[in-house]
Amino acid sequence: MPQEQKEFREAVEQALEAVMFESWLRFYFIEEVRPEPAKAEGGAEAADSAERLVIRVPEKGMARIKELYPSLLPLAESMNGHEVDFETSRRAVCTFVLGHLDGKTMPRDMAAVVFESATFQIQLQLFHTWLTMHEDQLDQGFQEFGAWRNLFAQWRATPGARELAEKLALAAQGRAAAEGAGPQ
């Protein structure tokens, strides 16, 4: 395998690992928080009872992450104690990959290539499929992030997952061909 292709595949795996880790944090460390009542004019409490979702990793959890997954610690630190939704999750992963991986553990500017690649999008879809399929199992008790990585890798090697990956790749090729055949 040419060096450039090897670097690309490794970069895809690193970016995917960041997505998986962020999902793991949300899966086990999300907490619903009711906002503090705000005082309206006249001293009455304003009615804002919308609950927020916040990542709360206990001190021991952060120490364990530092010990077992030191390269992912900055992502945990950036999310811990903060409100989370789809956009903040996406932004946290992108910021982590660009700030801690791009140009350091992967070639400079490789992150943009990875994020836009069909290869990464297919792996992302596979991960989300795996997560949906195994949610009940993962919810039965806390599992270290390493267990998530191993379970996903085992599932990804199954004939069913490989077949799904092939179908997703064919669909991506079809979309690319259709986009290329548009009006001139």
Average pLDDT, the chain: 91
Average pLDDT (16-27) is 98
User: Which segment of 46-50, 144-148, 161-165 scores lowest on mean pLDDT?
Assistant: 46-50
Res 184: pLDDT: 47
What crossing angle do the helices spanning 159-180 and 118-139 adopt, rounded to 10°? 140
| Percent of the chain whose predicted confidence (pLDDT) is above 90 | 80
Question: Where do the H-state alpha helices sit in 2-52?
Answer: 3-29
Res 177: pLDDT: 78
Nearest Cα residue to 24 out of 91, 87, 93:
93
The pLDDT confidence band at residue 45, using thresholds 50, 70 and 90, is: low
Instruction: Pick the more confident residue, 51 or 1.
Output: 51
Residue 81's Cβ-side half-sphere holds a number of Cα atoms within 13 Å equal to 5
Residue 27 exposed, middle or buried by CB count within 10 Å (0-12, 13-18, 19+): middle
* Measured distance CA(147)–CA(124) in Å, rounded: 18
Tens of pLDDT, residue by residue over 105-119, are: 999 999 999 999 999
**Containing H/E element for 55?**
strand 52-55
